[in-house]
Amino acid sequence: MESKRQQKFAGVIQQDLAGIFQREGMNYLPHTMVTITKVRVTPDLAIARVFLSFFNNTDNAQSLQTVKSHASEIRYKLGARIKDQVRVIPQLEFFVDDTSEYVERMDKIFDKISKEDRQPDTEEN
């Protein structure tokens, strides 16, 4: 369970990272829209785990590697934005948020189940 402090700090990071990716994301990943879906912060606020979702993209793994290779630059830009609000700029760890893929997969499964012929209930004698 995250504390209110962690949640508030995660929200600040998410908002500022979203601005960074919105303005400068094309430098890292041209023709790809990057969305920060959630941020989780450790209790000591030293590490921020950032979950990303990529749109208009064919290879999420390659995009994640590209973002990870620019992590220090992104952290620097984040630090410039939040330096007056925090003591230490957290290390950034990036992950792919596959929630939308999971939802699509579950929708397909439910569609398949609903299209199958239903077995009639056994009659009680």
CATH of the domain at 54: 3.30.300.20
| Count of the separate structural domains present in the chain | 1
Within a domain: 77: yes
121 is a domain residue: no
Specify the pTM. Answer: 0.78
Q: What is the pLDDT of residues 53-62, one digit of tens each?
A: 888 888 888 9
Domain hosting residue 102, numbered range: 4-115
75-98 CB burial, b ≥16 within 10 A, e <16: bebbeebbeeeeeebbebebebbe
In-domain check, residue 16: yes
120 lies in a domain? no
For 4-58, how does the pLDDT look when each residue is reduced to its tens digit (9 = 90+)? 999 999 999 999 999 999 998 888 888 888 889 999 999 999 999 999 988 888 8
The closest alpha carbon to 34, from 51, 13, 12, 10, belongs to: 51
Q: Is residue 8 part of a domain?
A: yes
Domain assignment of residue 123, yes or no: no
